[in-house]
Structures are given as C-alpha cells and as structure tokens.
Amino acid sequence: MNVRIRDWQDKRVWLVGASSGIGAALAKTLIARGARVAATARSQDALDALVGKKGLAVAADVTQPDALAAAYGRIRAAWGGVDVVVYLAGTYKPQRAWELTVADARRHVEVNLMGVYHLLPLVLPGLLAQKSGAIAIVSSVAGYRGLPNSLAYGPTKAALINLAEALYIDLAPRGVGVFLVNPGFVETPLTAQNTFRMPALISAEAAADEILRGFARGEFEIHFPKRFTRMLATLRHLPYALYFPAVRKSTGT
C-alpha cells in the first residue's frame, strides 16, 4: 500500500517523541541501520544521551507550535529536509469516568493529537515537493473502540487513526507514504503506571523491530503483537450487545 522502506542507510528520519520507550528504541535501531536520526522530545539531556554525535537532538514541546517549528528549522538547516517523520509523542493517564478532569483531557488532546497538527504543516510542503518519503503516526489499539481507563487517551488515539486514513487518501497518490502504527502493550514508562495485567506485553526494542518490519512491507497499518492485536481487531467489529460484555469479561471491569 505504501512504498516499502527497507534500506535506512543515510535516510533522514525525524522521530518526534523519542526520549524514552518506543521512540528511543526506534532511534537506536535506526542509527544502527545507518539512518540519520533527529530526535525530539522535551528533555534535551535524554536526547543528547540517545543520539550523541551521530544524530540531531532537537528538544521541543509538541504543544508549542513555535518550538516545534524551531526544531524543524534546525533539522532543515542541517540536512535540507527529512525523508521519514514518525510521531510518537504521547501521554497517558489511566482513569475511570468519575476521576476525569478537564485538565487531564486537555493535556491528552494537546500532546497526542494537536501535536500532529503542529507537525504536519512543517513537514508536508517538503515531502510533497520531493514526491517521496513518509509520515508515520503512532496511535494505539486503544483507538479502535472504547476501553476502560481510556477516557482521555482513547479518543485521541481514535482521532489519530481517522487522521492517518484521511492523510493516506491525500498523500499516497502524491508519492508520500502514510503509516499508521497501532501497538498493543509495550513495556515503557507510559505503561509502567498500569496496575492491571497487560496481556502480550512486549519490549520497546521488539516494538521498534515490528515497526521497521511494517515499513519494509509497506503496510498502511502496522499493528503488533499480532496475538493480541488480532483479538482486538475482532472485537472491533462486534455489535455493541456483544462488545460490551466481552470487554467486561476480559478486563474484569
């Protein structure tokens, strides 16, 4: 569905949300495969330690469009542009309906969703002019349907799935790939706060490998681990009368 990306040698890759977890693992793997990696997140120290002298550590808060634009300006000044952009910045706070606050909801929307809208106008003109390259958006299987503890997080991830689909329709015919990444549970600082058992939990390194395998296959949706995400894909198509009892049973809520 997308042009396959197999050879990362000298590819200019911008990872947004790369100071820890899946983004950091992806940065290390890509550097090992010869890519030029620009890493963005809020913590400059973590980015410096991650990419060292081999890449660009460009700190920015994705909720601040000017800061993100300045980060992209530094990348463009160094490399002239980018080939692949991966949006991984995300925040997650598990909460039930009676714990939800407006501030929490707003933070999820700002980081998980609005950050992409801040990013797209920066990178799209260059990618469209090149008629090549790709944008990958890391959403989640939590965006498929409503799940417990996901009142602020889930809707942002559902929106990202819809956004990636709409982007694909516009960009693929113009030579720019769009990849939607939907992980299951990955062991990272983000999920460390979960107190429930996470089925089919995988490491951040395994997640990075899955993402690169998906790029190599040119898949629009890269989802993993399949033993978990296939089950959620089935749940996605159940009628509500079956979906809600199945979720209650499998999550104990």
Ligand X SMILES: NC(=O)c1ccc[n+]([C@@H]2O[C@H](COP(=O)([O-])OP(=O)(O)OC[C@H]3O[C@@H](n4cnc5c(N)ncnc54)[C@H](OP(=O)(O)O)[C@@H]3O)[C@@H](O)[C@H]2O)c1
Residues in contact with ligand X by the rule CB under 6 A:
17-23, 41-43, 46, 61-63, 88-92, 111, 138, 140, 183, 185-186, 188-191
Q: Please identify, using beta-carbon distances, which residue of 98 and 209 lies nearer to ligand X.
A: 209
Chain Cα centroid distance, residue 245: 30
- What's the sign of the alpha-carbon dihedral 96, 98, 102, 103? negative
Find the residue with minimal CB distance to ligand X.
21
Is 203 in the active site? no
> Tokens at residue 178, please?
């769009």
d(CA 137, CA 181): 6
Q: Which residue is it, tokens 């980018």? A: 82
Q: Supply the minimum distance, in Å, between the C-beta of residue 109 and ligand X.
A: 12
Q: Please identify, using beta-carbon distances, which residue of 37 and 88 lies nearer to ligand X.
A: 88
Is 157 in the active site? yes
Q: Please identify, using beta-carbon distances, which residue of 64 and 132 lies nearer to ligand X.
A: 64
Q: Supply the minimum distance, in Å, between the C-beta of residue 221 and ligand X.
A: 13
d(CA 175, CA 195): 43
174 CB neighbour count, 10 Å cutoff = 11
Q: Supply the minimum distance, in Å, between the C-beta of residue 182 and ligand X.
A: 7
The answer to whether 37 touches 51, Cβ cutoff 8 Å, is yes
Among candidate residues 139, 140, 150, 168, the one labeled active-site is 139
Report which secondary-structure segment, H or E, holds 235: helix 226-236
d(CA 249, CA 242): 11
Q: Supply the minimum distance, in Å, between the C-beta of residue 250 and ligand X.
A: 17
Is 139 in the active site? yes
Q: Please identify, using beta-carbon distances, which residue of 90 and 177 lies nearer to ligand X.
A: 90
Among candidate residues 19, 92, 150, 157, the one labeled active-site is 157
Active site residues: 139, 153, 157
